[in-house]
Each structure stands twice: as C-alpha cells, then as structure tokens.
Amino acid sequence: MNHRNTPYLRLLLPFVLGIALGSWRDSQPEWMGWLLGASVFSSLFFAIRRYRYRDRWFFGANFFTCLFLAGYYLVVAHNELRQPHHFAPQLSEGQYFVCTVYEAASHGTKTKIPVRMEAMGPSPDALAPVSGNALLFFDPGAATDAIRYGDRLGIHGSLMPTEPPKNPHAFNYQRYLHYKNIHYQCFTNSDSLILLSSGHGSMLWRSAYACRDHLLSLLQKHFPTQDEYAVASALLLGYQDDLSDELRTAYAETGSMHALAVSGSHVGMLYIGLLFLTQRLRLRGRWRLLETAIILLIIWGFTLLTGATASVLRASVMFTTYMLGKALWREAPAWNVLPASAFGLLLFNPYFLFDAGFQLSYAAVAGMIFFYPRLYKMFPPGPKWVDEGLKVLLVGVSAQLGTLPLSLFYFNQFPIYFWLAGWLVVLGGAIFLWGGAMLILLDALSPTLAHWLGWALYGMLQCLNKAIVFIQNLPGSVVSDVWIPGWVVVALYGCLGLLGGLMVWRKGAWMIAFLSIMCLLGLYRIHTLSYKQTQRTVVVYHVTKKLRLIDFFDGNHLYALSDTLTKKQEDFTAKSNRIASGIRAKTTALLSETMLFRSNNLVVDKPIIQFFQQKIALIENTTWITPGDTTAIKVDALVLSESPELSIADCQKKFPFSIVVFDASNAWKKVARWRKECDANGWAYHDVRTQGAWESRQQ
C-alpha cells in the first residue's frame, strides 16, 4: 500500500479524532471559530509557498490541526439543541405543537414517529415558531398506522427530555437518540393527534416511501406467512419491523443478521449484476461514463427505495466513490475509496461515527480488503467450484476478523458457524434480490408468471429460514455472554493490526508485540474473573409496569426474586448486568410465593432478607408493622414495595434503617409523600423510579 495513493486515509484520522473529542466535550469555546478560521487561512498560506524539503512537515502538521479543529467544530455545531429558536426553553406541560414527520414511522409494541417541530404554544390559537426534533410514541392503531412521511401533525401533549438508562449496563437509549439528533420525546395517544395536512417534505422521499409501501403490499400478497414475508421485506427492502423475536435471534446467533439489513452486500450484489448486464453493451471510451451513470442511477434509486438507511447509504457512497474514481482516473485504490467515502459521510453527519452500523460496516470492509487476499494466497489452487466456495468462506472470515472486537462489545456474542450460514445467505440473498426484482416486474406485466415465481421464492425462503434455525440449534453454535469494556476493543484492534503487520513483513517483533498484548489481556481476564467469583451485590431493578426484580450476586451464582415476568421483560431489565457480572448459574424464586428461601449465603424469611452480612427489610403491606409493637429489628436497608399504607416514621421505629429504597412498583404520589418525609427528617433514600436501580456491594 503506497501512502501517496491513499491521501484520504491520512486525512481521515485527525478529522475523526476531532469529532470524537468534540462529541465527548460537547461544548464550543468562544475562540474555537477564530482558531479554526486562522488554521484554514494559514493552511492556504503555506500551501502556496515554497519551502525546503526538510520543512515540509510544517504544512502537514498545520493542515492536520485544521482537520482536527474542523471535526471538533462540526460535531458540536451539529447538535440540534444549538439550533436557533429550539423549543426546549419554551416547554411546559400540556402544550400544543405542530410538527412534520421527517422519516417513516417504526412499528412494534409502540409506534415511533420522528418529527421536526414547527410551532408550539399553549393552544392552537397561540403558536410561536420553533425548531428541533422529537420522537413521538403511540399505541399501535389505525390512526397512527396511517401516518406517512411528510404529514403535518397537530398534537396536545407533554414533551420530556429523553432519559438515561435506569438499570446498570442497560442499553443507553438516550445516547442512541442523541446520535440521531433527538433529545425529547412525547408519549401520547391517538386521541391527541390531528392530521393537519399531507405532502410536505421532499417529493423524492415521498415517492420513495410510497413506492416502498406499494412493494411491501406486493410482497405480502406473494408471501402469505409471517416469517417468510418478514424475511422477504428485510432482504429486498431492509424493512425489519415485522421480524419476530425468535427469527431475529436465529439470524443474529448465526452471524447472518447483515442479510436482513439492506447493506453493502446487497449493493455489491446489485452492482455485480448491473456490471454483468452493462458489459454486454460493450461500452468503451467516452461511453464508459454512460455505463457508470446507468449503474449509479440504479444503485441510488435502490437506496432511496429502501429508505436510505444508514447501512445502504454507506455502501452506496462507497460504490459511488469507487466507480467515479475508476471512470475519471482509472485508479481507485481500496484504501483510498474506503476513507474517502467515510470522510464524505462524516462531513454530512458527524454523528455517523458513533453509529454501530457505521463502525461495523467499515470494519467489515477493511477486514475484507486486508485479510482476504492474504488468506486466499495460503491455499493451493483447486477446481473452480471449490475455489468459488473458498472465496465466499474467506470473505466471511475476513469480515468477521474485522468486526470481531465490535461484535463482542455490542452484541456480547460470537457465532461459531457464521461461515456455514454465510454460504446460505450469500447465495440465497443473491437469488432473492434478483428474483425479487423480477417478481416486481412480472407482477405488473404477467400476474400468472409472477404467481409462479412468487411461489418458488416463497419455498426458497422457507428452506432458508429452516436452515438458519437448524444452524442455530447446532451444538456450540454461539459463544454468548461475553462482556468487554471499550478499552479492550481498542486493544483487540491493536492485536489485529499487529497480526496484519506479521502477515505483511513476517518479522518476529510483530509476533512478540502481539503475544505481549494478548498476555496482558489474559491477566486482565484472570483479574476480573477472580473479582466476579467473590462479588456480593444486591440490585433492586427498575422494571416497567410496576413489576419487581431483585438480584443477589453470590460470586458467579445469581439468586433472583421477582414477580411473574416474561423472559423478554427480564432480559430487557437485567440481562446486560448479569452478563457483565459473569453469572454462570441462576436460582429464581417468586416474590408472591416466597415465604422462606434458604441457600448458603441468602435467607429470605419475609419481611427480612439476610444476604451475607447485609440485612434488608422488604415491606409490601402493613402486616409486619402494627401499632403498639415495640420490637425493633435493625436493618441496613428498608425496601418499600407496592405502595403500602405506611409512613416512613412507622417503618423506622420497627426497622431502624441506614437507607430506605422506593422500588418502581410504588405509586408516584405515595413516593412523593415519602420523599418529603425523608427530607424533613434527614433520612437517606433512593427512588428507583427516578434515580435508577439501587445497588449495594459488600466487601
């Protein structure tokens, strides 16, 4: 790799560092604009000057500083809270606001609609213009299902800031929305919603979303069962709202989830097919630009049709950069195309840098570019059919190497049989992509032929889904419950870089450095395992719908006391924390039935819970606190649950405590009264509903 042919690779690094620092600081010093302007001016000044060869670094250092400052300035300015006339200062309860839908709604247990605010006021007759974004949550229904891109809505409701996660190690939805440039949300019902008008926004996007809705109805006609329709709409259009949890898990645990999100592989298959067709036209010389224009027009039409999701947008920008480079200069080194496309996307939206899909996409492509040709050279030549299968296998292995640290960090698992599932989804995806395109065409020209083709594709998807589930159920199909912090991700990529250096230069120093970092990671692993085997932690979780869940971590064994929760509710609340805590065994008991429970270090005899040296009183009703009872039982913590008709003073007399905990099953008004009582008497308290889960660790 000649560094002279990869200028964007060197330019991208300071720009990305500036974005990362700016996002972390999220503040703009007053002098930043002046410093950036001075840096740009000095870069232009030094660019036109002649200076000695040994002083050439001065221009480079100045230009890199300019890029760093530009990244910092851009990401801070991109925050929608800094828009003029943002609605945040005007918020009050029960306001009326007018907004426009700027993306297609997402459907699930709740209908989520991203909107751009236009006006706000106490009533429809007293509105003031505002700006900013918000996310609306509705219960699914006919009224909300009919909302489309470009609709202007009038809503009575209360906008609230997005909240941080309430449970340890839980998915940070607030941060996720921040990088979508959304900081406020509104939970309301369809009765508060009025459709004022339609047809706003870009005509191009309205047409694209309308076309996608038409194609979804067409797929529903030819794929009558839910799973096959869901996979068909995901494979062809990137629409995943109808995927069941079981099917989504099966594809995720076999490393095939990328097939259900229209991404680089889909654009790549489309590009290969279009290249095959255009080559039949034998366009040469100046007509090569026409070939490029045809391919790019179809690729970007496909991008708009799928809603221009982040994954397909990245792939389209990447292919556009590559093809324009080939058409205009005949040379487009992969290590220049990749950072050039990333640079362009980050200029458009610097928040892309923190999108998991963005990181995984570029890591996968970088892995394929670097590792695939080197791994392929290790194998002797064979028959063509073996060689083609080997190529598919090695491309999958290379992509998995590139994404391995990020996959462990984001998904806490690694699919062992990704190579087997890869053959199926690559072949099946290619067939379905072009078969689906033919189905759309035939549905308009010959419904009979479309029916037979749809039947064949339907049968193929049934076989594909069964094969994926079969691979998922193979012994040892996935390494799960892996938890690594962010710095380990950086260290693992350092190891991959050293491994790459070893493959290129074949020197022992690279191997020594690689083994050294792996040994340090091994020592860190031993340290964390020893800590987890001696942990003694109690966690009272925040659970929605006034349900309860209390975990007792005794080394790597977990004792869970809970109400009757579904597996989905329990996993959403506590799975990440349990994985991070290294749990290997679990014992469950229901709070409604538990009168006496005993293990080596945990005794539950309501209302007292003894866990090692810690004593907790769990008060659910007035049974254990009666007038005239002077017996006092000193406890470390008092947990009030299910809104008992008690005062904190009564509880303190019976169970003298160090802290009182109000779990999320209590009523708002009751907790507000208790908090006032605690404030008046100087008693320490923790409100799980507002402060998040309560944790207590023993040494």
Rounded to an integer, what distance in angstroms lies between the CA atom of residue 408 and that of residue 410? Answer: 6
Q: Convert the pLDDT of each residue in 183-217 to its tens digit.
A: 999 998 888 889 999 989 888 888 888 888 888 88
Domain closes at, from 34, 57, 78: 78
Question: Both 620 and 524 in a single domain?
Answer: no
Percent with pLDDT over 90 in the chain: 47
Asked if residue 369 lies in contact with residue 384, where contact means CB atoms within 8 angstroms, the answer is: no
Segments forming the whole domain that contains residue 407: 208-479
Banded model confidence at residue 283, pLDDT cuts 50, 70, 90: low
Question: Both 313 and 452 in a single domain?
Answer: yes
* Cα Rg, the chain, nearest whole Å: 29
Q: What is the secondary structure of 112-166 as a DSSP string?
A: EEEEEEEEEESSTTS-EE-B-EEEEEE---HHHHT--TT-EEEEEE--EEPPPPS
Question: Both 400 and 455 in a single domain?
Answer: yes
- Is the pLDDT at 548 greater than 80? The verdict is yes
Q: Residue 142: give its domain's CATH number.
A: 2.40.50.140
Asked if residue 233 lies in contact with residue 216, where contact means CB atoms within 8 angstroms, the answer is: yes
Question: Both 249 and 149 in a single domain?
Answer: no
- Provide the 10 A C-beta neighbour count for residue 347: 13
Question: Both 502 and 637 in a single domain?
Answer: no
In a domain, residue 83? The reply is no
Average pLDDT, the chain: 87
Domain closes at, from 168, 201, 234: 201
Percent with pLDDT over 70 in the chain: 93
Lowest mean pLDDT segment, chosen from 110-124, 293-307, 662-676 = 293-307
Lowest mean pLDDT segment, chosen from 139-153, 518-532, 602-616 = 139-153
**So what's the pLDDT on residue 286?**
59
In a domain, residue 16? The reply is yes
- Is the pLDDT at 276 greater than 60? The verdict is yes
Q: What is the DSSP letter of 663?
A: -
Query: Looking at the whole model, is its pTM more than 0.85?
Result: yes
Instruction: Dig out the tokens for 178 from the structure.
Output: 């921040």
Rounded to an integer, what distance in angstroms lies between the CA atom of residue 145 and that of residue 475? Answer: 42
Question: Both 494 and 611 in a single domain?
Answer: no
The structure tokens 């309501």 sit at: 606
Domain closes at, from 43, 78, 113: 78
**So what's the pLDDT on residue 690?**
93
- Is the pLDDT at 459 greater than 80? The verdict is yes
Question: Both 239 and 187 in a single domain?
Answer: no
Instruction: Tell how far CA 8 is from the center of its chain.
Output: 27
Rounded to an integer, what distance in angstroms lies between the CA atom of residue 480 and that of residue 487? Answer: 20
Contacts 24+ apart (CB under 8 A), 209-217: 209/104, 209/148, 209/149, 209/307, 210/148, 211/305, 212/104, 212/237, 212/239, 212/305, 212/306, 212/307, 213/148, 215/305, 215/440
**Cβ-count burial 217-242 (b if 16+ within 10 Å, e if not):** ebbeebbeeebbbbbbbbbbbbbbeb
Q: Residue 644: give its domain's CATH number.
A: 3.60.15.10
**So what's the pLDDT on residue 329?**
62
Residue 518: φ, ψ to 5°: -65, -35
Instruction: Dig out the tokens for 334 from the structure.
Output: 């992969």
Number of domains in the chain: 5
Q: Convert the pLDDT of each residue in 503-521 to its tens digit.
A: 999 899 999 999 999 999 9
Q: What is the secondary structure of 414-433 as a DSSP string?
A: EETTHHHHHHHHHHHHHHHH
Rounded to an integer, what distance in angstroms lies between the CA atom of residue 387 and that of residue 239? Answer: 34
Question: Both 406 and 263 in a single domain?
Answer: yes
- Dihedral (CA of 69, 75, 80, 81) sign: negative
**So what's the pLDDT on residue 648?**
94
Banded model confidence at residue 54, pLDDT cuts 50, 70, 90: low
Question: Both 176 and 267 in a single domain?
Answer: no
Question: Both 383 and 471 in a single domain?
Answer: yes
**Cβ-count burial 389-409 (b if 16+ within 10 Å, e if not):** eeeebbbbbbbbbbbbbbbbb
Question: Both 417 and 431 in a single domain?
Answer: yes
Rounded to an integer, what distance in angstroms lies between the CA atom of residue 573 and that of residue 337? Answer: 42
Question: Both 471 and 493 in a single domain?
Answer: no
